[in-house]
Amino acid sequence: MMLLRAVRGAITISKDDPDEIISASEEMLTKIMDLNRIKPQDMVSIIFTVTPDIISEFPAVAARKIGLVDTPLMCAQEIPKSGALPLCIRALLYFYTDLQKSEVRAVYLREAVKLRLDLTTQE
């Protein structure tokens, strides 16, 4: 039975640069999809957020670049909280799967591992 699930991901970049944003977003999305056996046809939508210091490109461009042309995408800015991790791209991906909720694996890469040490898997 296919169930609706959601999975989180986050990655940091070294500077606000369009190529870095696209490359990092592709890396994060690919890892999320691989770890959770997500096929494009099983995706419902993806919400991306970026910290206020990222303005040169939309992370959704990376999703389109890897072939997610039929998946609804949205980009938004994170709350500009003092002390928050800078230069961070986050994703919340909704998808259908036969995985149990406990089997869904979040992906936190680079400096973003600091956000959820309890969910970070070393591979």
Contact 46, 94 (CB under 8 A): yes
Q: Which residues are catalytic?
A: 8, 64, 75, 78, 90, 108, 116
Classify residue 103 by burial, with Cβ atoms within 10 Å: 0-12, 13-18, 19+.
Answer: exposed
* Amino acid code (one letter) for 72: P
Supply 50's token pair. 């970026």
* CA dihedral for 98, 42, 79, 60, sign (positive or negative): positive
